[in-house]
């Protein structure tokens, strides 16, 4: 079953009293219109005819009683406010629930592989959700990959109880987070663990494209007219944000929306793109994906860790070669704010995280 994997995508729909529901194909068409700005190009991208696209837009405009797209001769096609809200709602649902769906799909794939004649090695990875990590199922075609998304601390705990072969966690460069380092050090073992370099990424403030509130730094988060969207408490990004506001002498109580949280970088970006917040903290690729502005704050190293003896396992050795490959590195280059020059390099734990 190499190359054949279960994929589970969350879905949602409007339903009226007559039982009519939105066609999921509508969201693909709206996304294509938002990208291409032309109905002809959007229809081709969505793999439907121009006539079908036109009829679909008219059908659902009647359903809602308002147009979803504005068509102007010589100016192409643009989404109306309703069309934009529908698209952002779809993207927010996907951003919020994809990690959980990916975890379940990975479990099901592994169970199916058990009953098939398949000699490819199994590699169990636990890591926090991220754009580069999400590339792994596609590039690890020669492995049975059991990729489970969890917080960095959960991943390291799983490694120590042999629930995974490799755990992923991340550390900011130039920003010391004493509480996080202490918790990492309780779970990491310098004599038996080895670091596998993965990627570096840019963390910063995601803002509306035209920056109407004139946001420029972490210090601006305390302004009363700025609405913030946060990450969940156990994420590494939340730990970094908390340290940054502490360094600025800002109280969390003075940040409007500090207690509102999302569970992925893309979910934070979707929240802002939908107009529900003015600013969030996360990686540059999320801002790029949702057409937001981005203010870089610091870079961050995302690494994997495994037991030294695991480096001799066929699955781990093959994985290291994969993340060293041109295939993987070319994919990383397409992610805004991501770099992979050191990907696959093995280091002692003491080099990466001196005590």
The 3-state DSSP class for residue 170 equals strand
pLDDT digits (tens, 9 = 90+) for 18-38: 666 777 788 889 989 988 899
Q: Is the pLDDT assigned to residue 11 strictly greater than 90? A: no
Dihedral sign (CA 12, 16, 19, 22): negative
Question: What pLDDT is attached to residue 1?
Answer: 43
The two tokens of residue 266 are 């893309």
Helix ranges (DSSP H) in the chain: 25-36, 39-45, 50-64, 81-114, 136-139, 152-160, 178-187, 236-247, 265-273, 284-289, 314-324, 326-333, 349-352
Question: What pLDDT is attached to residue 178?
Answer: 94
Rounded mean pLDDT, 146-157: 94
């Amino acid at each position: 079953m190499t190359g054949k994997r279960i994929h589970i995508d969350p879905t949602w729909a409007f339903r009226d009293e007559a039982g009519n529901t939105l066609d999921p194909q509508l969201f693909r068409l709206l996304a294509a219109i938002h990208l291409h700005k032309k109905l002809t190009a959007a229809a081709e991208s969505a793999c439907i005819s121009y006539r079908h696209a036109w009829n679909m837009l008219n059908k659902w405009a009647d359903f809602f009683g308002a147009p979803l797209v504005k068509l102007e001769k010589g100016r192409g096609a643009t989404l109306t406010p309703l069309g934009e809200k529908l698209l952002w709602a779809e993207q927010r649902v996907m951003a919020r629930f994809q990690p959980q769906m990916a975890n379940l799909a990975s479990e099901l794939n592994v169970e199916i592989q058990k009953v098939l004649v398949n000699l490819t090695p199994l590699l169990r990875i636990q890591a926090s959700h991220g754009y580069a990590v999400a590339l792994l199922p596609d590039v690890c075609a020669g492995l049975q990959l059991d990729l489970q998304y969890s917080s960095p601390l959960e991943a390291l705990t799983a490694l120590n109880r042999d629930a995974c072969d490799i755990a992923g966690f991340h550390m900011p460069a130039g920003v010391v987070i004493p509480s996080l380092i202490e918790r990492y050090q309780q779970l990491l073992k310098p004599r038996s663990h080895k670091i596998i370099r993965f990627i570096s990424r840019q963390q910063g403030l995601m803002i509306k494209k035209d920056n109407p509130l004139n946001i420029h730094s972490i210090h601006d988060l305390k302004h009363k007219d700025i609405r913030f969207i946060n990450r969940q408490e156990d994420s590494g990004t939340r730990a970094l944000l908390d340290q940054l506001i502490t360094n600025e002498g800002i109280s969390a109580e003075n940040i409007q929306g500090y207690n509102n949280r999302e569970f992925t970088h893309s979910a934070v970006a979707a929240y802002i793109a939908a107009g529900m917040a003015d600013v969030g903290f996360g990686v540059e690729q999320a801002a790029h994906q949702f057409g937001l502005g981005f203010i870089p704050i610091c870079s961050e190293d995302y690494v994997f860790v495994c037991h030294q003896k695991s480096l001799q396992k066929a699955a781990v050795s093959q994985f290291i070669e994969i993340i060293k490959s041109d295939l993987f590195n070319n994919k990383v280059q397409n992610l805004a704010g991501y770099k992979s020059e050191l990907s696959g390099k093995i280091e002692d734990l003491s080099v990466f995280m001196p005590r």
